[in-house]
Amino acid sequence: MTKKDAIIGCNRRFYRGENTLCNRNCTFASQNKSKAVYWSNPNFAKVENDWYVICNNQHCKKIYLYYLPRGSVTRDDFKIRLDKDCFHIEIDCNDENVACQMSGFGFKNYFVGEMLYSEIEA
């Protein structure tokens, strides 16, 4: 699953085909190969506006969409990666609160929906 395909699928399913999600306002976090986390390093500008996070579980061929409205998070909510001047986010795949392992920030309350790959590719 690519970020582009996931964005197209989410726009079709959750936003009636409108281009609500785009590369600029969306983070695509795939499941890490060595541990059960969705890993991403989004830049700071992402959280200053409406922010969409797509968690890609390539093992069960499913994506999960989260929408964080502008003002929902700040730079203090996540660990900062100083060498790249961005956030370092690892969302626990097995946590009920869908929490970032490093900061404890929970994504659960921002859940929009989930889709199987087959629903996107159809």
- Classify burial at 19, counting beta carbons within 10 Å of its beta carbon; exposed 0-12, middle 13-18, buried 19 or more: exposed
pLDDT at position 6: 96
Q: Over 5-22, what HEC string results?
A: HHHHHHHHHHCCCCCCCC
Please report the pLDDT score of residue 65 as a whole number.
Answer: 97
Cα 114 from Cα 106, distance rounded (Å): 17
Look at residue 51 in the predicted model and tell me its pLDDT.
Answer: 94
- Beta carbons within 8 Å of 85's beta carbon, 6+ residues apart: 43, 44
pLDDT confidence of residue 47: 83
pLDDT recorded at residue 96:
83
- What residue spans define the domains of the chain? 3-121
pLDDT per residue rounded down to tens, the chain (122 residues): 999 999 999 999 999 878 899 999 999 999 988 888 999 999 888 888 899 999 999 989 999 999 999 999 888 888 888 888 889 999 998 888 898 888 889 999 999 999 999 998 75
